[in-house]
Amino acid sequence: MRRIIFLVVSVGILIGSTQAQEKKAVLRDTLDNRLDLSDYLVNLHGFVPVPFIISEPALGNFGGALALVFMTPKKSAGKDQFRFPDITGIAGMYTLNNSWGAGVLRQGSFPKIGMRYTAALGYVDANMNFYREVPVIGEKEFLFNMTPWFAMLDLSENLYKNKVFAGLRYQFAGMNASYDFSPLGDSLFEAEEFDDNLGTLGLYGEWDNRNSIFTPDEGFRIKATANIARSFTGSDSDLERYELFTTVFLQPTTWWVCGLKAEGMAVSNGSPFYYYPFLIMRGIPMMRYQGQATLLFETEQRFDV
């Protein structure tokens, strides 16, 4: 709703032993001769460093993250047979309130059987505020130190032209939370939630008609997910969580892209306090507005220069 992107600039630097003319050509688009990393990634199997500035208020308002993304594109078999690139990423982050984290991710596909997969593993040490309404006092912040390690495995099958997928996703988090505040908070947070495991198994359907998985100009994406957590999934809590996500991209002119997003989440009773849905909006601290159900609308207006 309040995320607006006015300018997107990409800069790439190639370092190698090739001649100057070849280095110049590999960074240029063959149609308009402008800066383009596509040929570099396709032919040299290079990597792209992706830096991020973290401005999340719940994590100290300022920090940085760096991801090294290694890509191996796969040639499409036809106009309607786009094949997703194999992507390997290594990332780390640090913020001013001494929160930090690191992780690895691998995304790939098996085109012959129409299957995609994503696997991730990471660790986070985060100092984060949670908010609760306290009688007489009103809204109050409670600072937690949360140190989960997490793992995720996602498998999906192509049902129609690499646009419609059905999939399974398993996520596990070994949570360890500690705090240093008065006993007032003990009545607002369940003590058994501070050191437990949360394993969820999700079933989802996805329809992705965007013209790019990175920076789309046109198309839409719809994804609906149902998750359960039980003892057989490695969870200490029994719960269900439902998610519905959709984005639409329109291009009124060649230099203007209009993006629209709607997202809804709901969770059953018995969820740990950190797993309740919350609103993710620019300028609002994470976890400030939590509830059993949330609904969020956003728009992104992008002007390409």
In this prediction, residue 44 has a pLDDT band, given cuts at 50, 70 and 90, of: low
Most confident of 65-79, 81-95, 272-286: 272-286
Strand partners, 236: none
pLDDT score of 2 more than 60: no
Quick: pLDDT tens for 14-40.
334 444 444 555 667 766 777 776 666
Tokens 């609103």 label which residue?
A: 279
* Residue 264 in tokens: 């809804």
pTM for this predicted structure:
0.79
Give yes or no for residue 174 having a pLDDT over 80. yes
- So what's the pLDDT on residue 17? 43
Q: How confident is the model at residue 98 (pLDDT cuts 50, 70, 90)?
A: very high
Pick the closest to residue 10 from 41, 46, 48 (CA basis): 48
Please report the pLDDT score of residue 184 as a whole number. Answer: 56
In this prediction, residue 299 carries a pLDDT of 94
d(CA 190, CA 272): 8
Position with higher pLDDT, 201 vs 40: 201
Which pLDDT tens digit goes with each residue over 215-232?
Answer: 889 999 999 999 999 999
Task: Note the pLDDT of residue 4.
Answer: 38
16: helix, coil or strand? coil
d(CA 185, CA 171): 29
List Cβ neighbours of 121 (8 Å cut-off, separation of 6 or more): 103, 104, 149, 150, 151, 152
Query: Which pLDDT belongs to residue 132?
Result: 87
